[in-house]
Amino acid sequence: MRTNQNSNNKFTRFLPLNESVEKGLELEPKISDFEIIKSLGNGSFSKVVLVKHKITKVKYALKIIDKNNQINIEEKSYFKREIEIMYKLNHINFIKLFSHFEDELYCYFIMEYIPYGNLYSYIKNNNKIPPEKVSNLIKQLVSAIYYLHNMIPPIIHRDIKPENILLGENDIIKLIDFGWSNYIKSEIRNTFCGTPVYLAPEMIDGNGHNEKVDIWCIGILLFEMLIGRNPFYDNNRNNLIQNIINVNISWDKNIDNDARNLIELILKKNPNDRIELKDIIKHKFIKKYNGNAENSLIKPEDTIFNDVYIVCKDNPIDFQRRKIEWEKKRKEKEKEGFKKYFPSNDDFNQKKNNNCSLIMFKKENDNLLKELNLLKKENLEYKEKLEKKNIYIFRLENQNFLLDESNKEKEEALQEKKIEIEQYKEIIQKQGDFINLLYSHIKKQNNQNLNLPLNLIQNTNKTFYS
Query: Which residues have a catalytic role annotated?
Result: 159
The number of angstroms, rounded, from the C-alpha of 20 to the middle of its chain's C-alpha atoms is: 8
What three-state secondary structure class fits 27? coil
Q: How many other CB atoms sit within 10 Å of the CB of residue 233?
A: 12
Q: How far apart are CA 320 and CA 23, in angstroms?
A: 9
Provide CB contacts within 8 A for 92, sequence distance 6+. 172
The number of angstroms, rounded, from the C-alpha of 233 to the middle of its chain's C-alpha atoms is: 40
Confirm if 286 and 130 have CB atoms less than 8 A apart: no
The CB-based long-range contact list for 254-261 (8 Å cut-off, 24+ gap) reads: 255/226, 255/227, 256/131, 256/226, 256/285, 258/283, 258/284, 258/285, 258/288, 259/131, 259/134, 259/222, 259/226, 259/285, 261/285
Confirm if 78 and 157 have CB atoms less than 8 A apart: no
Confirm if 134 and 262 have CB atoms less than 8 A apart: no
Confirm if 177 and 86 have CB atoms less than 8 A apart: no
Measured CA to CA in angstroms, residue 81 lies from 2, 21, 76, 87, 180 at distances of: 19, 19, 9, 10, 9
